[in-house]
Amino acid sequence: MSENTPVNTQVRPTHKRMHKLANLVPVLLALVHSGCEYGVTVAEEPAELLSVQNLHTEFTTPPTSAFPRVWWHWMDGNVTKEGISKDLNWMKRVGIGGMQYFDGSLETPQIVETRVPFRSEAWRSAIRHAVIEAEAANLEFTIASSPGWSETGGPWVPPEQAMKKLTWSEVEIHGGQPLSLSLPTPPTTTGPFLDIPGGGAEPSKAPPPDLPQLYRDSRVIAYRIPAADQSFEAKITSSSPLDVPLLTDGGRTNFQKLEIEPEQLGWVDFQYSKPVTMRAVELVLEPGQRIGPIYPSWPLGRIEASDDGRNYRNVADLPERGAPQQTVSFPATTAQHFRLALEPRFSPFPVKAFAPPEKLVAEHEIARIKFIPEARVNRFEDKAGWSTIPGLSEVETPPADNDAVVHTKNVLDISDKMDANGTLHWTPPEGRWRILRLGWSLTGKLNNPASEEGTGLEVDKLNQEHVKAYMDTYLGIYEQAVGRSNMGSQGIRYMLNDSYEAMAANWTDDILAEFERRRGYNPTPWLPVLTGRIVDNAEDSDRFLWDYRRTLADLIAEEHYGTISEELRARGMGRYGESHEALRAFIGDGMEVKKSADVPMGAAWARSNLPKLLPDLRESASVSHLYGQNIVAAESFT
């Protein structure tokens, strides 16, 4: 790489989320040529070190490899062959080097006489027409990695191959005698966490009512209950009337409004008959306005303790955002009163360009408050992968007393003691035991924003077999339309992974085997940590969850993005690869994700958030230098 290597950039117009309607929506794509001698080039001209004369010539008369690409959205089937030909002719005439095609939908009204639905015979004819004409004009043709712009999903993905999350149920027993016990089925709800519903295409909208549900068992674990794990009756009062039993026993979906006076605190107080020691609280609060896949802000608040019910001290602040349930841990605190205190506002929104107006609110909604004497992992929901929130290495779990934690020697795998009907046949040792029935259910995330005919479940990103099945079907749709000879060195040459908006998933069929293979130790004694319990000590439990997230990161980089690249190269095609954009969109390393791409790609669309976007752009440039790609792309003006 020469110090004097030239940099050529071109940029493109329009906003990804603001297309009103159109036959075809163009968006320019900036390309940066690194000048390296190696890697994959986008067009026919070989990358070579340029003399001064060549530099002048290529600057005044750029090769097609330096031309910008455009995004080409076919919105809700509003296309005609005549319109396709006019678009392609315009692209060629103004110096566009190629297009990246999307099947899209933003509730676009019909503006053509006859819609061309995705995968219909009319669509196959239209896409074949587009590919053949683009090739004749020497325009590079790229397809998105799914209908919509995120991510890898469609109606052909069966529930068994869709994105998954860990779910569990628990029951307490007393040992010393044989038992035959029907274990409660874990929540089968499709959504982000346990019994909280969700999914769908657009995270800021309510999920559709017809999402599939699926549950499968994985393990049955028993552990001896720590001595400090006790229950205490409390008198619950609040700053405005609430249905108290629903707060502790009503699940995670029955939200109640806690009214708050301007510039005052709203509070819910738990008063005990005598001082008790607490170490954590489990909360489900309604967050603020959601903007797309960005995790919304939580109410601004804190956990307080008091000896007399009048003078309160702060023991923990609430997180700013994260998984829909948050377990907030704090050092062992003895008091007669514990309360949740909320201010009439939300935490700041993380992306300034999309931030809703900051204003005082008259109420917050609460579904669950549960104070816990047993030691818990601080924010285990985020650390175990039910969200993609970054910065968790700084969220330490407070040290815990020996009588408040689970010990590995007291964790037993009793999966073989449960029959096919979910009945446990076991003689436990003496003492109090908790049985965890662990399994998985669906996140319910759909690809978006795609036409109705192109919308379906997002494929499991952590499983190579499922991703390969997805790719075989998806690329097969195009092969049926344009023919195998028009995919690869000519015709459809590339696939684009746009920014990841498929949200969190923390389970796949063989996750425990993959963990042991990659991390080098058996995760079974540590499985209670995935339900928030501290095993042995706080530091080792946080370390296990770091290892778990590292495994999730490895899997998405290799099983998802790596498999996509392999399947494309097997067909002679290449990959443009984005990843996180402005925030961390999945649990993983963006450089690991982009290293298998032929063209690593960043985003440059939100100038007011430049400090957050620069890492994405620099990451793409770094990948090209480290792994030998000679083209870097930048999504611009979207």
DSSP 518-547: HHSS--GGGGGGGGTB-BS-HHHHHHHHHH
Q: What is the pLDDT of residue 59?
A: 83
- pLDDT digit string, tens, across residues 356-371: 888 899 999 999 999 9
User: Residue 5 corresponds to which amino acid?
Assistant: T
Task: Calculate the CA 85 to chain-centre distance.
Answer: 38
**H helix or E strand, kind and range, residue 478:** helix 464-482
Lowest-pLDDT range of 17-31, 484-498, 537-551, 560-574: 17-31
Q: What is the pLDDT of residue 609?
A: 55
Q: What is the pLDDT of residue 354?
A: 78
Question: Strand locations in 420-467, DSSP E?
Answer: 423-426, 432-442
Q: What is the pLDDT of residue 46?
A: 47
Indicate whether 3 pLDDT > 90.
Answer: no
Indicate whether 48 pLDDT > 70.
Answer: no
Between these two residues, 248 and 147, which has the higher pLDDT value? 147
Q: What is the pLDDT of residue 324?
A: 97
Q: Which two tokens stand for residue 381?
A: 């929901």
Q: What is the pLDDT of residue 197?
A: 96
- pLDDT digit string, tens, across residues 71-104: 999 999 999 999 999 999 999 999 999 999 999 9
- pLDDT digit string, tens, across residues 153-179: 999 999 999 999 999 999 999 999 999
DSSP β-bridge partners for residue 259: 363
Q: What is the pLDDT of residue 605?
A: 61
Q: Is the N-terminal amide bond of 390 cis, ω within 30° of 0?
A: no
C-alpha torsion 345→369→378→408, nearest 10 = -170
Domain 234-373 bears CATH identifier 2.60.120.260 = yes
The stretch 189-212 carries a mean pLDDT of 93
Indicate whether 2 pLDDT > 50.
Answer: no
List all residues 6 or more positions away from 212 whose beta carbon is below 8 Å from its beta carbon: 159, 162, 190, 442, 444, 457
Indicate whether 272 pLDDT > 70.
Answer: yes
- pLDDT digit string, tens, across residues 459-509: 999 999 999 999 999 999 999 999 999 999 999 999 999 989 999 999 999
Indicate whether 57 pLDDT > 90.
Answer: no
List all residues 6 or more positions away from 382 whose beta carbon is below 8 Å from its beta carbon: 319, 322, 323, 326, 389, 392, 395
Q: What is the pLDDT of residue 288?
A: 93
The stretch 499-522 carries a mean pLDDT of 97
* Interatomic CA distance for residues 447 and 444, integer angstroms: 10
Q: What is the pLDDT of residue 40?
A: 36
Q: What percent of the chain has pLDDT over 70?
A: 90
The stretch 309-315 carries a mean pLDDT of 98
Nearest in space to 22 (alpha carbons), one of 66, 86, 76: 76
Lowest-pLDDT range of 308-312, 511-515, 577-581, 586-590: 577-581
Q: What is the pLDDT of residue 583?
A: 76
Indicate whether 13 pLDDT > 60.
Answer: no
* Interatomic CA distance for residues 596 and 523, integer angstroms: 29
Q: What is the pLDDT of residue 571?
A: 97
Q: Where residue 29 falls among pLDDT bands split at 50, 70, 90?
A: low
Between these two residues, 482 and 262, which has the higher pLDDT value? 482
The stretch 298-324 carries a mean pLDDT of 97
* Interatomic CA distance for residues 215 and 440, integer angstroms: 6
List all residues 6 or more positions away from 447 whose beta carbon is below 8 Å from its beta carbon: 146, 147, 148, 150, 151, 152, 153, 154, 201, 454, 455, 456, 458, 502
Q: What stretch(es) of the chain map to CATH 2.60.120.260?
A: 234-373
Q: What is the pLDDT of residue 42?
A: 41
Interhelix angle 121-136/81-94, rounded to 10 degrees, is 20
Between these two residues, 357 and 113, which has the higher pLDDT value? 113
Q: Are 309 and 392 in contact (CB under 8 A)?
A: no
Q: Which two tokens stand for residue 472?
A: 């075989």
Lowest-pLDDT range of 14-18, 134-138, 322-326, 427-431: 14-18
* Interatomic CA distance for residues 490 and 477, integer angstroms: 17
pTM: 0.91
Burial 130-160 (b: 16+ CB within 10 A, else e): bbbbbbeeebbbbbbbbbbbbbbbbbbbeee
